[in-house]
Amino acid sequence: MTATIDGPRLPAATGTAKSLVVLLHGYGADGNDLIELGAQWQRLLPDAAFVAPHAPGRIPGFPPGMGGGRQWFALDAYDPALLRRDPQHTAAVYAAMGAAAAPAVAVLNGFLDAELARHSLPGSRLALVGFSQGTMMALQVGLRRTPAPAAILGYSGALLAGDDLKEQMHGRPPVLLIHGDADEVVPVEAMFAALQVLAAADCPARFHVSPGLGHGISADGLQLGGAFLAESLSRGAAAAV
């Protein structure tokens, strides 16, 4: 695993960034897969800079020369069919994934600090957006950062190890989780499990279920996510005045 990461960027439409939105891609993709979200949200977030870092790991055996093929951590033992068939294994599976994610957590935190410094922004002006494995990373990192980010938006993901989450949190950032009820890769039950853990940690989250949606982002989810980011970053900017 490399010590640093990088990826495509979009500058703030106004020319001066007053907030930073970091887009975290899913397993098998790379930053180019999500940077387009920034282009779609720029009208709502004209003062935001966007960046979509490539995950630090490469998937073994992925064809060289093709786009994507990145991973935040290995998913060797992940089996969504098992989670649906035998839900009592869910906590143990996500706990193991949380341990596997630890090296990438350190790398991502270093990247976030460097990007905030690049724009001369405090950590409270950060928003994290994730898809699938990127949502796992957004929650794993964002819920434990000091100061807490202005917002965490997660699509089609899950919350990893969380038994000690309440003790590890230094703030209660706004969280919105969006999931399709036909997700074949990360069952929608993962979102409801995450909501329970967050509530137990005194960090209630909003959620939205997209009917008939598989493992992806729908138009309604995109619209809700953009409005959530705009609301959260606007509230954070007002609080800083």
CATH of the domain at 65: 3.40.50.1820
What is the tens place of the pLDDT at every residue in 99-111? 889 999 999 999 9
Summarised one tens digit per residue, pLDDT across range 69-79 is 999 998 876 76
Residue 227 placed within a domain: yes
> Residue 238: its pLDDT value, please?
55
The number of distinct structural domains making up the chain is 1
Helix (H, G, I), strand (E, B) or coil at 21: strand
Query: pTM for this one?
Result: 0.92
Position 2 in a domain = no
d(CA 56, CA 189): 28
Predicted local confidence at residue 241, as pLDDT: 43
CB-neighbour burial class of residue 74 (10 A; exposed 0-12, middle 13-18, buried 19+)? middle
Q: What is the predicted pLDDT for the residue at 157? A: 95
Task: Evaluate whether residue 64 is within a structural domain.
Answer: yes
Nearest to 134 by CA among 37, 232, 223: 37
Average pLDDT, the chain: 90
Confidence of residue 2 (pLDDT cuts 50, 70, 90): very low
**Which of 60, 56, 58, 39 is closest to 48 using CA atoms?**
39
In a domain, 46, yes or no: yes
User: What confidence tier does 164 reach under pLDDT thresholds 50, 70, 90?
Assistant: confident
Question: Among 10-14, 78-82, 206-210, where is mean pLDDT lowest?
Answer: 78-82
Domain coverage including residue 162: 11-240
| 6 within some domain | no
What SS3 state is found at 129?
strand
Residue 236 falls within a domain, yes or no? yes
Could you tell me if 158 and 216 are in contact, meaning their C-beta atoms sit under 8 angstroms apart?
no
Assigned domain for 122 exists: yes
Bigger pLDDT: 2 vs 63? 63
In a domain, 83, yes or no: yes
Banded model confidence at residue 1, pLDDT cuts 50, 70, 90:
very low
